[in-house]
């Protein structure tokens, strides 16, 4: 779990992203592409022998999931993207990457309000990629995401969390309701502050730090 900057709080994560974009001119979509591509490579290195279900929310974490799905599919992985929010709620870089999934005819479906077929989709998969919530989650996990998380946890299959397990508070490491229990967490730039809490261990599993291409001088400033 090597990291160039130690642990990062929610506010530090936001500030790093903002400064990379505003001060150093790195487009947010480039950071998302780097994060998703390298997370996909990590998942491939862990071993994929069956189907992968990529569960995406409406924020940037969901956008990372779309990038991961595209790179896995391009490598021949059998997968399904499950969009767990209405497409019209997507914005910014997440929407851009969803459009690539849509126009590129990658396999995806939108999960309805009744969550029809969710348990079957999970049961058919070897891996579930959790791209529901990122570090920005600070309030209780609300419906229908509480039921989605419970359905994923109930199967006891391989779970790969993107940046942070959905439902876990970035700063405290405490669950905010039903929380993904990941086997592996691909966390971006550095482990999150809450990961230092021993109570977070059952949720984060084995933590891997993934580089997203932030300027080195920016990271040195955080040290």
3-state helix, strand, coil in the chain (%, to 5): 45, 15, 40
Q: In residues, how long is the chain?
A: 223
d(CA 115, CA 209): 32
Residues 6+ apart with CB under 8 A from 69: 52, 54, 56, 79, 81, 101, 106, 108, 129
d(CA 87, CA 195): 31
**What pLDDT score does 2 carry?**
60
Q: Say yes or no to pLDDT of 51 above 60.
A: yes
Q: Say yes or no to pLDDT of 223 above 60.
A: yes
**What pLDDT score does 75 carry?**
97
10-222 fold: Rossmann fold (3.40.50)
d(CA 165, CA 170): 9
Quote the pTM value: 0.96
What tens digit of pLDDT does each residue of 134-187 get?
999 999 999 999 999 999 999 888 999 999 999 999 999 999 999 999 999 999
What tens digit of pLDDT does each residue of 102-144 get?
999 999 999 988 898 899 999 999 999 999 999 999 999 999 9
């Amino acid at each position: 779990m090597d990291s160039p900057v130690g642990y990062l709080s929610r506010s530090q994560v936001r500030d790093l992203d903002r400064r990379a974009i505003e001060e150093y001119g790195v487009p947010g979509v480039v950071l998302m592409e780097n994060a998703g591509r390298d997370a996909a490579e990590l998942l491939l290195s862990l071993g994929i022998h069956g189907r992968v279900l990529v569960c995406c929310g409406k924020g940037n974490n969901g956008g990372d999931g779309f990038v991961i799905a595209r790179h896995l599919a391009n490598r021949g992985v059998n997968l399904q993207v499950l969009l767990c929010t209405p497409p019209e709620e997507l914005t910014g870089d997440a929407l851009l990457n969803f459009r690539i999934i849509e126009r590129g005819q990658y396999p995806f479906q939108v999960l309805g309000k009744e969550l029809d077929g969710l348990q079957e989709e999970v049961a058919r998969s070897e891996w579930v990629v959790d791209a529901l919530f990122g570090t920005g989650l600070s309030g209780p996990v609300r419906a229908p995401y509480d039921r989605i998380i419970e359905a994923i946890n109930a199967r006891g299959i391989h779970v790969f969390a993107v940046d942070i397990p959905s439902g876990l508070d970035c700063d405290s490491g405490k669950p905010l309701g039903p929380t993904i229990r990941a086997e592996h967490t691909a966390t971006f730039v550095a482990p999150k502050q809450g990961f230092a809490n021993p109570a977070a261990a059952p949720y984060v599993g084995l933590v891997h730090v993934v580089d997203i291409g932030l300027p080195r001088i920016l990271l040195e400033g955080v040290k």
